[in-house]
Amino acid sequence: MYRATIKGLGYYVPENIVTNDDLAKRMDTNDAWIQERTGIQERRHIKKGDGNSTSIMGVKAAKIALERAELTTKDIDMIVFATLSPDMYFPGGGVQIQDMLDMNTVPALDVRNQCSGFVYAISVADQYIKTGMYKNILVIGSENHSGGLDFSTRGRNVSVIFGDGAGAAVVSRSDDEDSGILSTHLHSEGKHKDELALQGPSTEHWVPEIIEENPQEDIPYYPYMNGQFVFKHAIVRFSEVIKEGLDANGLNVSDIDMLIPHQANLRISQFIQQKMKLSDDQVFNNIQKYGNTTAASIPIALTEAWEAGKIKKGDLVVLAAFGSGFTWGSVIIRW
């Protein structure tokens, strides 16, 4: 068995900053409510004509990660791409990235696990490296939420939370036995699939059908979230899956040098931090600046933490996510 390690990291967010006050001009909300309930101060939104899309942002993040890994696209054996907001219904965004990066005919796999997408994607990459099948895998999470949210008051509980952006990691075979990805732990519970979901357009909720059923109404293809229900499950599952990862490696909470939780809501991160008795230095949050960028949130946060010198060689780094599905998971890394 080989060991996989994260060799390079990068992120990209659109330049267009959208503050809470900006949103308050479009819907009945306010800065105080958003900050108090979520911790979010601003987020980035793609602006029409700025040249961005989900896959284009993914490419931008990937290029930075590749450069930092001191690798070129020729060295990459596979793309694993996580998103819930692809540019097209099909084919997946992975092949768009493969094309834009002009990468021979390497396989491109799309992961559809929403907020847990990056954790699932890292786990997939880890398995391919461990077995020796591939040496270098490009793992990307990217989201264009602003293209599909309801910015009227009706959608305010969802639309104030989410932002656009992308993050990427080069996952490579490592010769260093003392460092790298120690384990990944994944879960799902589909009975809660409707609590945070976008029903259509899809084969079950097709556009002509929806128009027929709702001739006087807007087509309801915006995300739905039962916020409090999701919140309650998130705080339980986050702690559980972090503990599961630590236990599997004979480690304790006190061994964690840096926890990068999926940036769902600052209150969720703070709750986990308190419950696990972690100090401010042991948890990294940047939701204040970017909102919840779903599959991109962990790689953006991981990159920022690394760039700020908060992750050093030998550190125990824990990634953890929870979201729609429900799906959740953790990754335990010795840096």
Q: Site residues for ligand UT7, window 168-197 (CB under 6 A)?
A: 196
Q: How far is the CB of 115 from ligand UT7 (least distance, A)?
A: 4
Residue with tokens 């699939």: 193
327: contact with ligand UT7 by CB under 6 A = no
* Active-site annotation holds for 144: no
What separation in angstroms does the CA of 180 have from each of 246, 262, 315, 316?
A: 15, 20, 10, 10
CB within 8 Å of 298: residues ≥ 6 apart: 118, 119, 141, 167, 260, 262, 263, 319, 321
- Binds ligand UT7 (CB under 6 A): choice among 35, 73, 157, 273: 157
Give the up-direction half-sphere exposure of residue 232: CA atoms within 13 A in the CB hemisphere.
5
Say if residues 164 and 145 touch (Cβ distance below 8 Å): yes
* Active-site annotation holds for 45: no
Per CB under 6 A, the segment of 27-35, 132-140, 165-173, 280-288 that binds ligand UT7 is 27-35
Q: Beta strands 316-323 and 327-334: pairing type?
A: antiparallel
Helix, coil or strand: residue 218: coil
- Binds ligand UT7 (CB under 6 A): choice among 29, 98, 123, 144: 29
- Residue with the CB atom nearest ligand UT7 in the bound state: 227
323: contact with ligand UT7 by CB under 6 A = yes
Which of 262, 265, 285, 286 does the annotation list as catalytic?
Answer: 262
CB within 8 Å of 259: residues ≥ 6 apart: 242, 272, 273, 276, 278, 282, 283, 284, 317, 318, 320
Per CB under 6 A, the segment of 29-37, 50-58, 105-113, 166-174 that binds ligand UT7 is 29-37
Which of 20, 45, 52, 115 does the annotation list as catalytic?
Answer: 115
Name the phi and psi angles at 35, rounded to 5. -65, -40
121: contact with ligand UT7 by CB under 6 A = no
Q: Site residues for ligand UT7, window 221-280 (CB under 6 A)?
A: 227-228, 230-231, 234, 264-265, 268
Q: How far is the CB of 75 from ligand UT7 (least distance, A)?
A: 33
- Binds ligand UT7 (CB under 6 A): choice among 292, 293, 327, 330: 292
Instruction: With CA atoms as reference, report the closest residue to 137 among 51, 14, 8, 31.
Output: 8
Say if residues 26 and 37 touch (Cβ distance below 8 Å): no
* Active-site annotation holds for 292: yes
Name the phi and psi angles at 292, rounded to 5. -95, 115
The smaller minimum CB distance to ligand UT7, of residues 182 and 235, is found at: 235
Q: Compute the distance between CA of residue 40 and CA of residue 264 in angstroms, rounded to an integer.
A: 10
The smaller minimum CB distance to ligand UT7, of residues 72 and 228, is found at: 228
- Binds ligand UT7 (CB under 6 A): choice among 43, 145, 156, 334: 156
| Binding region for ligand UT7 (CB under 6 A) | 29, 33-34, 37-38, 115, 156-157, 160, 196, 227-228, 230-231, 234, 264-265, 268, 292, 323
